[in-house]
Amino acid sequence: MKIVLAEKVSPATLAVFKAEPDWQILTHDQIYDLPAALSDADGLVVRSAVQVDDALMAAAPKLRVIGRAGVGVDNIDAEAATRRGIVVMNTPGANAVAVAELTLGLMIGLARMVPKANASMHAGKWEKKSLQGSELRNKKLGILGLGRIGLEVARRARSFGMELIGHDPFVSAAVARENAIRLVSLDELFKESDYLTLHVGLTPQTAGIINEKTIASMKKGVRIINCARGELIVEEALAAALKTGYVAGAGLDVFHQEPPKNSPFFGLDNVILTPHIAGSTAEAQEAVGVQIALQVREYLKLGVVQNAVNLPSLSHEEYLEIAPYIHMAGRLGTFLAQFSQGSIEGIQLSYSGRIAEAKTDLVRNSAIAGILGHSENVNRINAAAVAQERGIRIHEEKKEAASGGAGSVLKLTLHTSSSDVTASATVLHGNSARLLSLDGIDIEAPLQGTLLTIHNRDVPGVIGRVGTILGDHRINIANFALGRSDRSHRIPQGNALAVVQIDGSVTPSVLEALKNVEAILQVHLVNLDDAK
């Protein structure tokens, strides 16, 4: 077995591979021609500098696994790796403790005014009376996002005697209970928190989630921590609230622009700013290297796949046949996730037609990844494991297609703590993902681009009002699909559904205008441009 370590790794990482007596290890300082070094390699480990493209993989006919010591895989062509049967692995969660510790550190820094105290001491001052702080004990910590990092924050905050509340529709009530977290709605999270910490990924739903309106719904004196993504916060709105004192303090490790230039937070003494260092600890970097070494070793020795970011190996013919349904399932999952209410407890998948005869593990995982994708880094390989970790039950069934129906159909149901929601889809013309139904209403619409789903009373004039509103806002309608309810448990008889595919983006004012139409009951915006 030959392993090529194309970039510098720690001694502990190297030791994992050297413990295998019959393995040949080639380190970065021994490589003069990377393609030549890979000509007989079984495994490749990189960080972020080496670009692993299709041409490089072509020089490595024996390569079975590429290990990325880190989370991002932008430097690896995962699709090319899939076509060549190469597993691509990364190391999500290896820096969770580091990020959680900085989160708590920023909270303590705000509570005890540590930066201000430090600055005054360095200036030769003794300002003890003006530096009276507060304790974390008995304060309510709101955690937005209960993935690996959010749960690590919760475990540490408990030791400070904090009361924990959290919001994450992608975590089960059982996991929350095990970590002494009370699950609440997003509105309740904002309203009740003394400290609010953000641990969600960046999606159309989470971008700008901390804004003027949501800040106004929070307690006066709330303190906000962000070690996730800068784009979660509307910076000008938070800065304004910090200046008035409505928000007592903020600890920010991430920003819209990095490094920041002319940041509205510069000069505010109730803000702690750090240069995106949450995951930058010696231990975290060591953990990333050791973790990828262990994953690569386990795969090459035992065939165990962990934290893969691409599809498992298929024959070329199998991949070509199943790939459109894998993409469709991810889009259907992303679409359906917009309609779930409450914590997800189960996911049911039903395959009918030719797809039921195929290897559907990849279709299943793609659907789950679409559903959970707004929560954290979930992919087509680790999706089922992430669901299990979160206490979400997965059930699958296969059956023949109904006569006269679409040849291959995936029916997907989300079981939540408050309701169930079901949708079905198929693939037409070889690669066109199409929605077939939503909660019992038959409707054919494209599963791509930007979609508005509108539930309304089945009365005259609604279509015209929708068209007028979109036209007034200079939004072009690319496709307008309609369906009527007759027996749905969720959408009563006499109601209707429209799925409108539009060109361009939708502003909050457009959604508000649609919601103000008397006959319209619900409006959802779904962006499938990034769905996989």
Give the catalytic positions in this structure: 229, 258, 276
Tokens 């066109």 found at: 432
The DSSP call for residue 130 is: G
Pairing of strands 140-144, 195-198: parallel
Q: One-letter amino acid identity for 255?
A: F
Classify strands 65-68 and 87-89 as parallel, antiparallel or unpaired. parallel
d(CA 135, CA 112) in angstroms, rounded, equals 8
Tokens encoding 408: 């291959």
Nearest to 420 by CA among 496, 491, 334: 491
CA atoms of 80 and 309, how far apart (whole Å): 12
d(CA 110, CA 134): 9
Among all chains, which residue has been given the structure tokens 């999270």? 189
- Tokens 């429209």 found at: 498
Angular region, 247: left φ>0, alpha ψ -120 to 50, beta rest? beta
Residue with tokens 């000008």: 236
CB atoms within 10 A of CB 118: 11
Compute the distance between CA of residue 449 and CA of residue 527 in angstroms, rounded to an integer: 6
**Could you give the CA distance from residue 16 to residue 7 in angstroms, rounded to a whole number?**
16
Q: Cis omega before residue 11 (within 30°)?
A: no
Beta-carbon contacts of 511 under 8 Å, excluding residues fewer than 6 positions away, are 523, 525
Question: Strand 420-428 vs strand 432-438: parallel, antiparallel, or unpaired?
Answer: antiparallel
Determine the 3-state secondary structure of 407 from DSSP: coil
Q: Which residues are within 8 A (CB) of 188 and not within 5 positions of it... i.e. 6 or more apart?
A: 165, 167
User: Residue 18: in which H helix or E strand, if any?
Assistant: helix 11-18
Q: Name the strands in the sheet holding 43-46, side by side, starting at the edge strand that comes first in the sequence.
A: 24-26, 2-5, 43-46, 65-68, 87-89
Calculate Rg over the CA atoms of the chain: 25
Judge contact between 182 and 166, C-beta under 8 A. Answer: yes
Distance between CA 265 and CA 272 in Å, rounded?
9
| H/E run at residue 183 | strand 181-183
